[in-house]
Structure 1
Amino acid sequence: MSHDPHSLQGLKARYGERHRWLLLYTLMLGSMAAVMSSTIMNVAIPDMSHHFTIGQSRVQWVTSGFMVSMTVSMLTTPWLLARYGYRRVYEACMWLLVGGGVVGGLANDFTLVMAARVAEGLAAGVVQPIPAIIILRAFDSNEQGRASGLFGMGVVLAPAIGPSIGGVLVDVLGWRSIFFMVVPLALLALWLSRRYVPTTAPGGVAANADSQGLDWAGLTLVSVSTLMLLNGLVQLRGDDDNVAITLLALAAVGMAVFVAWQWRLLKARHPGARGPLMNLRVFAHRSFAMGALVAFIYGTALFGSTYLLPVYMQLGLGLSPSYIGAALLPSGILLALTIAVVGRLSDRYRPAVLVCLGLAMLALSFALMPMVHPASGLALLWAWVMLGRLGLGFILPSLNLGSMRGMPRELIPQASSVIGFVRMLGGAAGVSVCAIVLEWRLSVAGVSLLKAGQPAASLQAFNETFLCLAAVTALALVAGWRMTEKPLSHPKA
């Protein structure tokens, strides 16, 4: 394979040391498309609710359905990369994003919209662990922070700029235009992948289509359990609590069976045997175990607030989608710049310290939201949003590094996909939990998001939801401080 010009060795011979940066920038573009598809839809949720004449609890599955498919597909990334190589997996994901964007934008039926979102979620889930694998395997330990910061800055620019453009598009062209925004980025990423993404698998070895099979039983267990978890959370808003309790109990049992099955496969492995979908050995490393706990809580707060904030600004404060997008742009740019700076700091300071500082700022930004009131102007709103984005900028480039430094090279692909899975599982639950808490507090106040009137009561419901997010985020500080890491040797991709 060393003579193959498209293998990792061949591309290194052609482009030299700069290939790793060219590869990272190419993956960054695809990740930007994936991240944009996950977050930009939030600004169009109220518009879609009115277009399809469905309630918030159902249209919210546009976000939750994406999150479920993204969460589950992350666990398949190590197997896909080993079997098919970086390039084939990456290009298949980009084509899924293109197809999902076109189908979703042209759909006249909500079921088809949901199918498009699931396809986009599958692609986004497989793509997201790949950059962390590249950073930890291809870059020396004294460059990993810089690489993580540059990558994070680029990825964050997509959701920073996206809502600004998306808000205007929703006002002018409607919600359909949001789907089409992902297509140009994915097509450009496809073109670049033919030049810089290797055909080889992690470690620079040839992809092996005859390698061990995928753990379909484990994938089925985790998929069904995740769906039951989210459906159970949604049913908590219904009239029959027994259904919700049953679904949540089945989800817990399903997850327990999944873990037991993974442990059995891990213990029974022999050459050529099917490996577990999730290698539980990654949790033997304390820094990773603590980082995974932080990632779950962080995902809950991040994705819950990403869903809640645009709805709060649009329906709680009465702002237009275009105004919301323009107002959020400065905080998005601040986030991107913070990530670039903190990435460099991660090479010199303990990532755990940076993670905890970011978590504290994020929790404080949620806790201060009740101080915002339309009658006194919106300056405080922008200040707290900026504080929260500053906190995110400290967390994003530090969490993966703090969790996986010191991890054996062969476990890095598994560790990257597992921590992504845990983060997205928290995120998928966070979106549902935010919707549950919000609707609960709205029902207590006797108001509805789809009906005008009683703005003070609506605002109070949003404020109480933000306080819940602040409490959840603060819980992650304990685990974040217990993250420890060892110096990592100089691994290669």
Structure 2
Amino acid sequence: MTTQSPQETVLPEPQAWRALAALCLGFFMILLDQTIVAVATPQFQTQLDASLNQVVWVTSIYLLCIVVPLLFTGRLGDRFGQRTVYQIGVGVFTLAAIACALAPTIEVLIAARAVQGLGAAILTPQTMSVINRVFARHRRGRALGAWGAVGSVASLVGPVLGGFIVGTFGWRGIFFLHVPVGLLALVLAGRWVPTLPTYARRIDVPSVAVSFVAMAAIVFAIQQGPELGWPAWVWGLLAAGLILVVVFVRLQTSAGDRGSEPLVPLSIFRNRNYSLGAFSIATMGFTVSSMMLPIMIWLQAARGLSAEQAGLMMVPMAVVAMVLSPLVGPLADRYHPRLLSMLGFGLMAGSLLTAWAIMRSEVPTGWFLAAAALMGLGSSFVWAPNSTTTMRDVEIAHMGAASGVYNTTRQTGSVLGAAAVGAGMQIGVARAGLATGMADALLLPALVLVLGFVAVSFFRADLPAATHPAGGGPPR
């Protein structure tokens, strides 16, 4: 285990920003995937003869295979080096994207999406870890703001770009798109991302095994419960998963007795802003993964728009996010994080309620552009301030683990969102018809965002950046 000090990993600004650019390329690719696939939903159904439940699984299996190993893959970076693990993740994701593009049946597509999810799980935690190690503390707000801006723009550009690709090249084109991006990310990571010292001694094998089984049981039960009508065995699976979570926590306290490091050092939760930020980002994950499917089905099936036209309806969202996101990041170093984050979560919830009202009414479809613009505004004030506030003062030695937990909560929210809104769509359509059912499905993520709003209202203010060394600051 290397004992190099945190200050020694900080790079000169130009070099740090090049490393950030290489990492953001891979991060952009996987977040783009989560929203771009929703546009192709109607073609999956028609060209692959897929049921609605199978189409939901195209997204759900991807999210499942991200969230299950995230705690482990986050710690892999601490153990074997973030750059190496990042490149492995990009390679797995890109190869799986080719398999998705060539899939002859919906079953093969779902299997390839599972491998894609694994690749995303490997690379995702490494991005935040490296950023927090190569940038000085007083510059992390700007850097994490750029990282958060990439998340915002990628999540929102997906429907627009997806509409064009699906309409022009068909659904297979959205997966071929990942190939050149993935290859470029591999090359740039090798050139620009440094080899950083490692801290973890030995990964605790019992913790890994228990975390895999616990997360798989919980997520699978949540995904399949609504579809199966919640039979007793599903409840049993969910209960078993929750019990294993308790076992996992106990294992973290005894890892040292086995000569290894805990997969999740529990000390990271003493940082109040970290705990609140990890929870609040789960509500955003819930929303991002779930809101596009009912919106795209409503625009295409209920209002008769083509895939290209449906994607263009989201242009205001993408434009607002692209303009504002880079400007919001630096504000996280200057203003109380509570103000920016509350504004973001409040606007996001308001945008979904606006979309719900429009989708339930008989107003012209063009009115939806206003809701889309409001989504872009709200998203811009969520990603950057939340990631900055959450990760700024985590101990350098625990960056991989903390990033793994942060992304696990976000992706767990995504899995819950996809499952809950997918079930809500089916119930809503059966009860009130297609248009109203798709509209009502948006009420659930709006309610969940209120929980995120409440959480970030308890953020503590950062102390002035000049009072802290480059490597970190005191717990908040």
Normalising to structure 2: TM-score of the pair? 0.89
Cα distance change, pair 63–69 in 1 and its aligned pair in 2 (3 A) = same
Report the CA distance shift for 1:320/1:281 in structure 2 as closer, same or farther (over 3 A): same
2:397 is matched with which residue: 386, 410, 432?
410
Give, in angstroms, the shift of residue 157 of structure 1: 4.0
- Does 385-394 or 218-227 show the bigger shift? 218-227
Aligned partner of 1:169 in structure 2 is 165
Aligned positions of 1:64-463 closer than 5 A: 64-200=60-196, 204-205=197-198, 211-214=202-205, 215-231=207-223, 234-238=224-228, 240-243=229-232, 246-270=233-257, 273-372=259-358, 375-445=362-432, 457-463=433-439
The verdict on how the C-alpha distance between 1:428 and 1:41 changes in structure 2, with shifts beyond 3 A counting, is same
The alignment covers a number of residue pairs equal to 463
Q: What is the rounded CA distance, in whole Å, between the counterparts of 1:354 and 1:433 in structure 2?
A: 28
Moved more, 185-194 or 307-316: 307-316
How far did 1:479 drift? 1.3
User: Alignment partner of 2:282: what SS?
Assistant: helix
Partner Cα distance (2:403, 2:158) in 1: 26
Query: CA 1:316 to 1:266, structure 2 compared with 1: closer, same or farther past 3 Å?
Result: farther
1:465 matched to which residue of 2? 441
Deviations 1:24-62 (A, max 9, x none): 000011111111222211111111012222211121111
Partner of 1:448: none
Please give the alpha-carbon distance, in whole angstroms, between the structure 1 residues aligned to 2:10 and 2:127: 17
Residue 26 of structure 1 aligns to a residue whose secondary structure is: helix
TM-score in terms of structure 1 length: 0.86
- SS at 2:16 equivalent: helix
Gaps of 5+ in 1: 3-7, 446-456
SS of the residue 1:60 aligns to: helix
- Does the Cα contact within 8 Å between 1:230 and 1:432 map onto a contact in 2? yes
**Residue 454 of structure 2: aligned partner:** 478
Q: Specify the code of the residue in structure 1 equivalent to 2:214.
A: V
Task: Return the offset for 1:429.
Answer: 0.7
CA contact (8 A) 1:403 1:485 kept: no
Paired with 2:212 and 2:155, the residues of 1 have a C-alpha distance of: 31
Question: Root-mean-square deviation (CA), in Å?
Answer: 2.6
Q: Deviations over 1:133-161 (max 9, x none)?
A: 23333222332222122233344444444
**Alpha-carbon distance, 1:251 to partner:** 1.8
Cα pair 1:39 1:159 within 8 Å, conserved = yes
Q: In structure 2, what is the Cα distance between the partners aligned to 1:187 and 1:11? A: 27
Distance 1:165 1:358, change over 3 A: closer
Q: 1:323 to 1:216 in 2, by over 3 A?
A: same
Q: Distance in 2 between matches of 1:263 and 1:350?
A: 35
In structure 1, C-alpha distance between the alignment counterparts of 2:175 and 2:193, rounded to whole Å: 26
Distance 2:171 2:208 in 1: 36
- C-alpha deviation, 1:492, in angstroms: 4.7
* Cα distance, 1:119 vs structure 2: 1.5
Are the aligned partners of 2:284 and 2:413 in contact in 1 as well (CA < 8 Å)? yes
* Counterpart residue number, 2:469: 490
- Alpha-carbon deviation of 1:288? 2.0
Once the 2 structures are TM-superposed, how far is the Cα of residue 486 of structure 1 from its aligned partner? 4.2
**Whole-angstrom distance in 2 between the partners of 1:250 and 1:344:** 45
Seen in structure 2, the aligned counterparts of structure 1 residues 165 and 296 have a Cα distance that, compared at 3 Å, is: closer
TM-aligned CA distance change 1:40 to 1:433, over 3 Å: same
Q: Which amino acid aligns with 1:320?
A: S
Displacement of 1:329: 2.6
Shift of residue 162, structure 1, vs aligned partner: 4.0
Q: What is the CA distance between 1:320 and its match in structure 2?
A: 1.0
Quote the offset at 1:90 in angstroms.
Answer: 1.4
What is the identity, as a one-letter code, of the residue corresponding to 1:18?
P
The aligned residue for residue 5 of structure 1 is none
How big is each residue's C-alpha offset from its partner over 1:214-243, in whole Å with a ceiling of 9 and x where there is no partner? 433223323422343334xx33234x4424
